[in-house]
Amino acid sequence: MSRLVLILGDQLSDRIAALREADRESDVVMMAEVASEAEYVPHHPKKIAFVFAAMRKFAAALESAGWRVLYTKLDDPDNAGSIPGEILRRAEETGAKEVLATEPGEWRLISALEDCPLPVHMFPDDRFLCSHEEFEDWAEGRKDLRMEWFYREMRRKTGLMMEGDKPAGGKWNYDHDNRKAAPKDAEFSGPMRFTPDETVEAVLALVEDRFGVNFGTLRPFWFATDQGEARRALAHFIKTGLPGFGDYQDAMLAGEHFLAHSVLSIYLNAGLLCWEDICAAVVDAWEEGDVPINAAEGYIRQVIGWREYMRGIYFREGPDYTTRNALEHKRTRPGFYWTGETKMACLSAAITQTRDEAYAHHIQRLMVTGNFTLLTGIDPHDVHEWYLAVYADAYEWVEAPNVIGMSQYADGGIVGSKPYVSGGGYLKRMSDYCKGCAYDVGEKTGDHACPYNYLYWNFLHQHRDRFGKNPRMAQMYRTWMKMSDDKREATLASAEAFLSRLEAGEDV
Ligand SMILES: Cc1cc2nc3c(=O)[nH]c(=O)nc-3n(C[C@H](O)[C@H](O)[C@H](O)COP(=O)(O)OP(=O)(O)OC[C@H]3O[C@@H](n4cnc5c(N)ncnc54)[C@H](O)[C@@H]3O)c2cc1C
Ligand code: SF4
């Protein structure tokens, strides 16, 4: 009796648990492009195209490797439109009575599989370094769940950049060296770009037709869509991007969408790359003397530290995590998040780049778009849905803890010990956006002042009961209290006027 082996669009790895449990001779692999997954938020067309194209190529690779694969395209007339619907349809067709699956990265789908009328055996997704149980053990009994301690555990566990039980170079973390602004004449080669082949072109035509109205530019489409291409993109990054990765990790430049970032999360999260291969390549380059220690350490910290930690938080916190709203923020997300049409040059740049590439790097997501929604009190669930829709690497297990936790402080401080907020001064230091802005970053109040400036103080003032006693924010509150009454009043009045204009949908 055959069983169905379910492979989801972000499980495109030949080492995925369900495949390892399956029997190539008797079991049948099923994969499906379904409307319910493509439409539950208005995903960026590049993201949909990437997932469908990579799925089609992965299905073909499995067939070549001897698997029987039942693949449903989005426009197949019999398409049942949802994962459970497709399971039932394929079960009827094949007579299968059981399903082998790998745990999805989203509570919504986990519960859909649990509710499926057919027995579904769900295996842990062991493409990650840290299992749910291991994270639970680490978190148990801790007063706070700081990433740095978790990261050190992962370094010890993997032995990556370790000399015995000591970190290579004597320090666990070289972040201090990783906060440079990019010089004006710096040159970045950017990620490797791939020309769409016939399979990709067919998907692009489908996506153009069905999702052409979604926010986001589909062409030029340049992502890798199979494991071979993703490996080439990795090798290209190690050679061209990694040496400068540490130094310019937090930098932003108008017109430079990628700087020295790897743009590998898209491939890693979908299964085209695995963390082991990425980290091995990074460590090899460092051992060969091709990249400095701050770049290599900084990079592996993102992958075995932040990425694994975020997943741990998502699964530990449970299905209600995306509805948390510790700061009780209620405003609706401004319409310009779907157009980029704002006079604020930094926001306009981050949003239009997101529209064109389905990509923005970490500091743009955190300190430009995320900082603004936090300072203006936008409902974090609205913010979460936007991030989930617009980035090609966005799957809930990684997007939600970054948005709800790190960026919007909506989980009340589980991920971050203080909110990530800043005035325009930080953005000026780390970018060249302010030069081309209608607002003046040097002005603190009034119509021409940079909105981040007064919104920052207004945020601290509004949330003084919660953050006033936070030792990490004491200095900021002291500065606020040292300002003259007039200055404080003018700051709050500027913020109020701006927020009224924002709510009224006026141009800001
Ligand atoms: C508000 C917000 C939303 C985010 N949403 C997502 C998301 O939906 N999907 C996603 O993969 N990442 C998300 N991140 C984390 C991070 O911004 C992206 O992983 C990174 O920008 C991906 O680009 P890159 O591959 O060029 O990363 P690089 O800068 O080259 O970093 C290397 C790798 O480290 C990992 N990484 C780095 N930081 C994080 C982090 N905070 N959490 C998890 N992994 C990390 C990624 O796998 C990334 O590929 C978000 C961050 C913020 C602040
Ligand atoms: S002045 Fe303010 S709004 Fe304008 S680019 Fe600079 S930080 Fe952004």
Burial of 231 (C-beta count, 10 Å sphere; 0-12/13-18/19+): middle
pLDDT of residue 182: 82
Q: In the predicted model, what is the mean pLDDT of the chain?
A: 96
Q: Which residues is 70 bridged to in the sheet?
A: 30
Distance 328 CA to ligand 2 centre (A): 26
Q: What is the DSSP letter of 101?
A: E
**Ligand 1 binding residues, C-beta < 6 A:** 261-265, 268-269, 299, 302-303, 306-307, 310, 361-362, 365-366, 370, 387, 391, 393-394, 398-399, 402-403, 406-407
Distance 405 CA to ligand 1 centre (A): 14
CA distance 214 to 45: 7
pLDDT in tens, 263-279: 999 999 999 999 999 99
Interval 277-292 mean pLDDT: 97
405, 427, 252: which is closest to 321 by C-alpha? Answer: 405
CA distance 58 to 208: 22
pLDDT of residue 326: 98
Q: Among 172-181, 213-222, 475-484, whose mean pLDDT is lowest?
A: 172-181
Distance 401 CA to ligand 1 centre (A): 11
pLDDT > 90 in the chain, percent: 94
pLDDT in tens, 14-37: 999 999 999 999 999 999 999 999
Distance 317 CA to ligand 1 centre (A): 20
Interval 97-105 mean pLDDT: 98
Which atom of ligand 2 is nearest the CA belonging to 441?
A: 1
Other Cβ atoms within 10 Å of 168 Cβ, number:
18
Q: Are 33 and 379 in contact (CB under 8 A)?
A: no
Residue 247: pLDDT band (50, 70, 90) is confident
pLDDT in tens, 357-371: 999 999 999 999 999
Phi, psi angle pair for 249, to nearest 5°: -60, -35
HEC states along 237-306? HHHHCHHHHCCCCCCEECCECCCCCCCCHHHHHHCCCCHHHHHHHHHHHHHCCCCCHHHHHHHHHHHHHH
CA distance 162 to 492: 50
Q: Are 334 and 348 in contact (CB under 8 A)?
A: no
User: At residue 80, does pLDDT exceed 80?
Assistant: yes
37, 30, 70: which is closest to 51 by C-alpha? Answer: 37
Q: Residue 243: is the preceding peptide bond cis (ω within 30°)?
A: no
Residue 179: pLDDT band (50, 70, 90) is confident
Which atom of ligand 1 is nearest the CA belonging to 262?
A: 30
CA distance 88 to 30: 11
CA distance 99 to 231: 31
Residue 451: pLDDT band (50, 70, 90) is very high
Q: Looking at ligand 1, which residue's alpha carbon is closest to its atom 36?
A: 302
Ligand nearest to the CA of 361: 1
User: At residue 450, does pLDDT exceed 80?
Assistant: yes
177, 273, 281, 279: which is closest to 239 by C-alpha? Answer: 281
User: At residue 184, does pLDDT exceed 80?
Assistant: no
496's enclosing H/E stretch is helix 485-503
HEC states along 18-62? HHHHCCCCCCEEEEECCHHHHHCCCCCHHHHHHHHHHHHHHHHHH
pLDDT of residue 1: 76
Residue 246: pLDDT band (50, 70, 90) is confident
CA distance 394 to 142: 29
Which atom of ligand 1 is nearest the CA belonging to 395?
A: 8
Question: Biggest alpha carbon distance in the chain?
Answer: 79
Interval 186-192 mean pLDDT: 90
Residue 6: pLDDT band (50, 70, 90) is very high
Tokens standing for 367? 């300190």
Q: How many Å separate Cα 488 from the centre of its chain?
A: 36
CA distance 328 to 377: 8
Which ranges constitute the DSSP H helices of 376-463?
Answer: 380-390, 396-400, 424-430, 451-462
Residue 377 backbone zone (phi > 0: left; psi -120 to 50: alpha; other: beta): left
Interval 241-250 mean pLDDT: 88
Q: Looking at ligand 2, which residue's alpha carbon is closest to its atom 6?
A: 434
pLDDT of residue 466: 97
pLDDT of residue 302: 97
Q: How many residues does the chain have?
A: 508
pLDDT of residue 201: 98
Strand order in the sheet with 4-6: 68-72, 28-32, 4-6, 99-102, 120-123
CA distance 343 to 351: 12
Task: Give the sign of the dihedral formed by CA 23, CA 26, CA 27, CA 32.
Answer: positive
CA distance 200 to 223: 10
CA distance 76 to 96: 21
3-state secondary structure of 167: strand
Distance 426 CA to ligand 2 centre (A): 10
pLDDT of residue 186: 79
In terms of DSSP bridges, do strands 99-102 and 120-123 run parallel, antiparallel, or are they unpaired?
parallel
User: At residue 122, does pLDDT exceed 90?
Assistant: yes
pLDDT of residue 249: 85
Ligand nearest to the CA of 369: 1
